[in-house]
Amino acid sequence: MTPVAFSVTEVRVAATCPRISYFDFEHTRRHRLKSRSVTRLWKAGAEETACGTLFHNAVEAFNRRALDAPEVRATVEGESEPRTIERRLREFLNLQCVDLNALALRSVAQQEAFIRAVGIYMRELADIIGDARIRGKPTHEVLGQLFGDRRRRVDVTFQVGPKGEAVRITGILDYVFYDWRTAHHRIIDYKLTPAGEPSNDLFQVGLYALMHHVQHRTEPDVGVLYLHPDRLMVEMTWSQVHGQRHKLFDLLASMAEWQRYDEAGGKGLKPPGEPSCCSVCRWDNDGQCARRLGPKHEGHRLRHWTDAFAGGQIRDEPSVFAEEANGTPRAWAQAVETETEEGPGPIEMVSETTNALGLQEGSKKAQTDGRTAGRSDEEQAATGEDVPSLTIRENSAQIGTTIVGRRLVAIPVAALPTHVAVVGAAGSGKTWLAKVLAEEAVRLEIPVLAIDPQGDLVQFLRPAAEFPDLTPEEKALRRGFLDRVEPRVWTPGSSHGRRLCLDPIRLAKPSDLAYITDPIRRAEEWEGMLAVVAAQLVGTAKAGGETDSQQTFLLQALRSLAADPRGREVDLGTIAAVTSDPSSVGLENPDQFIKKSEREKLARKLNGLRLGPTSNLYSGGQRLDLDAMLQPKVAGKTTMNILYVNALTDDDQKHFFIAALAAEIYRWMISSPGGNSGRPRMLFYLDEARDYIPAGARKPPAKDPLVRLFTQGRKYGVACLLCTQSPRSVDYNVFGNCSTKLVGRLESTQDQDRVAEWFSKESSPPPWLAGRKGAEAGSFVGRWPFIQPGIEGTAFRSRRLFSLHEGAWSPDRLEQEMRRS
């Protein structure tokens, strides 16, 4: 006979209230549903989740990648202090595994609960790793035991009925690993709801343990780790789990009989009810539970296994059969929060937490309450409700206030690495707002590297006059920026500011990637970095012909030069010389890569860069070196680096320089990975972006290197900020990588249509978009990850700038200001 089958989740529901389990089964059968109806019952007090699906997706991605991730391996190999391990693991998860766009759609309270849950989870994991390292466990063993065990799916049949009837149970474990502290395997089930009935949750994970032991002979201890709203760990040893197995056998046998109960005729085993669940049970509406099954106390459970154990009778263990079940990753989106049947949805009553926003723990409370959350300032003002006062939010860029109600508008630091686009017509205030973001980055100790093509950004050199009507909060922000900033203005190819030189060229060396322990992966990354330089040089040289062949040849030459054990600096003259005479670096058969005529032409073009009209870029001044540029001269300061390209003689030179700068940023971020819990390591600000990453097929030399930063910078903690007048003028793929959009006044219907495409995944464009055409100057509407409730769709004005903002400075004006400073 085919066994009755249940999921572990269904067993958990039946352990809580057998009648809920019965009504779920009846609903499935009556409506002939393809997927089993399962009520996810959350008791009163579980008033806010911590984004269960998103959390499990992030942890699932982390556990799946951690075994092979060089960042995790380097952490385990080089650290034993748990808090350092925790910080670095959280950084990896935040940058690589968290779906920030999906998280941004949740309420602030849910986002903050998610952040706290991540912190607690990572702290537990770091403690285990730290203990293993102190015990001297090698890296491969730690990684293998923690992340290499894929035996998570369980599928076991128990013959537990009164006459040996079979019941089949299937499920997927949250996490199984070996814990050196107890010298046992351990199964952990983590929960993002309050610990209302820990014994029921332990019962479920105890079932997992019994099944896992049947399939893999592991004798695991078990634990339930509650992550929200407070941390709580409840545990049982394997001996305790095994000692209570008779209760599980009785429950499984009872479940098989309960689902066969004939409600109309009253025949069979009637399920009893659990009155404590009635207030939040969807099946108790209008008293239908008692009407259909009688008073809640009526009903029965099978007890043949319990009675046999209690009476000292020696009863044979039930026969068990295990199916093959090797670790398929869990489909969390279906297993955690998604309702799979039509009809009433799950009961979800949620509560708020008060942690600071950002991918790290904090203490600042959310700025909204139950009355105002999710409502615009206009709606609140119309009803006469008070709106929250302007309050500085920790770990957030304070960019302005709403036009109605003067509510604070703040972008969390954790949103910046997903990149920011500011669009608006000429005179709309877009540069002002972008400069505010740059000021806020510095105030928050994030170095800035900004390209200034016109002379608007070099004015960071001088503070603006202090307005007499600044509020105390604005004064605090102003003081925070001015006390922190260390402004520097760099002028490639000229001495109007600090002169920059593109020669010698910084080539990554294999030793720069020592943090990558896998030699194959290290070689791939190294060659990828050299390929970027090769592509940049070919694009700058403009030799024509087969550019792919030229890049392939230069890659071989650069590989030889970068691997030179003498560690010599590589300048453009050296590269040109090697191009003319490849044998000088051991390239004996260059014709397999490039025709001799093309190679000679490329060498001439490279020599022309350093000796011809562009030679000013390759001589004099400080070498382009991002490590030095980001390092402040004064302790406690944060650098604001402005690269003023307006002094360059033509557009080609500007493109040459910006392409080289993008290649250097790429080298820097690959060869020195790291960050701090989702905080960006640098803000790269590109003003007038359409000139360098234009839409369409046109590919100026700087386009590909800049697009690469927008597509790959996020995972290395490089936040990008672009500014443009027309959203139609910039490569669409770049906007696709900007999760934060700040939209000012738009000039045309075509601009509106392009912005509407940004929200193409939605059923219709956001309603606020229609008001952007012809909007007043200084007015913006935005969307970003972790956005505060009530802010999306609400117009706001930027805060005041704390640095000078006037007409664009000419090169001569800059030189005068440099002397003054």
Residues in CB range of 381: below 8 A, 6 or more apart: 387, 404, 405
Residue the block writes with tokens 């051991």: 586
CA dist., res. 692 & res. 704, Å (int): 9
CA dist., res. 361 & res. 365, Å (int): 12
CB of 729 within 8 A of CB of 690? yes
What's the burial of 389, exposed, middle or buried (CB within 10 Å: 0-12/13-18/19+)?
A: exposed
DSSP 436: H
| Residue 770: other Cβ atoms inside 10 A | 10
Of 643, 560, 575, 580, nearest to 609 (Cα)? 575
SS3 76: helix
Residue 796 parent element (H or E): strand 796-798
* Dihedral sign of CA atoms 89, 360, 414, 661 in order: negative
CB of 518 within 8 A of CB of 640? no
Token output for 698: 């046109």
Positions of the chain with pLDDT lower than 70, given as ranges: 1, 40-50, 150, 196-197, 279, 311-316, 323-393, 567, 673-678, 761-763
DSSP 50: -
Residues in CB range of 175: below 8 A, 6 or more apart: 63, 152, 187, 188, 189, 190
Residue 685 parent element (H or E): strand 682-686
The full DSSP string for 29-82 is HHHT-SS--------TT-B----HHHHHHHHHHHHHHHTT-HHHHHHHHH---H
> What does the pLDDT read at residue 114?
86
Torsion of CA 746, 750, 752, 758, to 10 degrees: -120
SS3 647: coil
SS3 199: helix
Fold of 387-502+621-821: Rossmann fold (3.40.50)
What's at 790, amino acid-wise?
A: G
Which residues are paired to 167 by β-bridges? 4, 158
> What does the pLDDT read at residue 46?
42
The full DSSP string for 701-713 is TTHHHHHHHHHHG
The model's pLDDT over 292-348, given as tens digits with 9 standing for 90+, comes to: 898 888 899 999 988 887 766 656 678 777 765 444 333 322 233 232 222 323 322
Residues in CB range of 151: below 8 A, 6 or more apart: 176, 212, 215, 216, 325, 326, 327
The model's pLDDT over 463-487, given as tens digits with 9 standing for 90+, comes to: 998 888 888 888 899 999 999 999 9
Residue 659 parent element (H or E): helix 651-671
> 198-214 burial, b if ≥16 CB within 10 A, otherwise e?
eeebbbbbbbbbbbbbb
CA dist., res. 730 & res. 689, Å (int): 7
Residue ranges of the domains in the chain?
A: 4-331, 387-502+621-821, 504-618
CB of 212 within 8 A of CB of 322? no
The full DSSP string for 316-339 is PPPPEEE-----PPP-HHHHTS--
Which residues are paired to 253 by β-bridges? none
Main-chain phi, psi angles of 796, to 5 degrees: -135, 160
Torsion of CA 657, 658, 659, 664, to 10 degrees: 90
What's the burial of 738, exposed, middle or buried (CB within 10 Å: 0-12/13-18/19+)?
A: buried
CA dist., res. 488 & res. 642, Å (int): 6
Which residues are paired to 730 by β-bridges? 694
3-state DSSP helix/strand/coil % of the chain, to nearest 5? 45, 15, 40
Main-chain phi, psi angles of 779, to 5 degrees: -100, 130
Main-chain phi, psi angles of 530, to 5 degrees: -65, -35
> What does the pLDDT read at residue 372?
33
Residues in CB range of 159: below 8 A, 6 or more apart: 165, 166, 167, 318, 319, 320
**pTM above 0.85?**
no
Provide, rounded to the nearest whole percent, the portion of the chain with pLDDT above 70.
Answer: 87
CA dist., res. 759 & res. 763, Å (int): 9
CA dist., res. 502 & res. 643, Å (int): 13
> What does the pLDDT read at residue 795?
93
Residue the block writes with tokens 């608007």: 456
E strands present in 180-310: 184-191, 221-226, 232-236
CB of 411 within 8 A of CB of 444? no
Residue the block writes with tokens 């990588």: 737
**Do strands 320-322 and 153-159 pair parallel, antiparallel, or not at all (unpaired)?**
antiparallel
Q: Helix/strand/coil (H, E, C) string of 507-542?
A: CCCHHHHCCCCCHHHHHHHHHHHHHHHHHHHHHHHC
CA dist., res. 731 & res. 686, Å (int): 14
What's at 528, amino acid-wise?
A: G
What size, in residues, is the chain?
A: 821
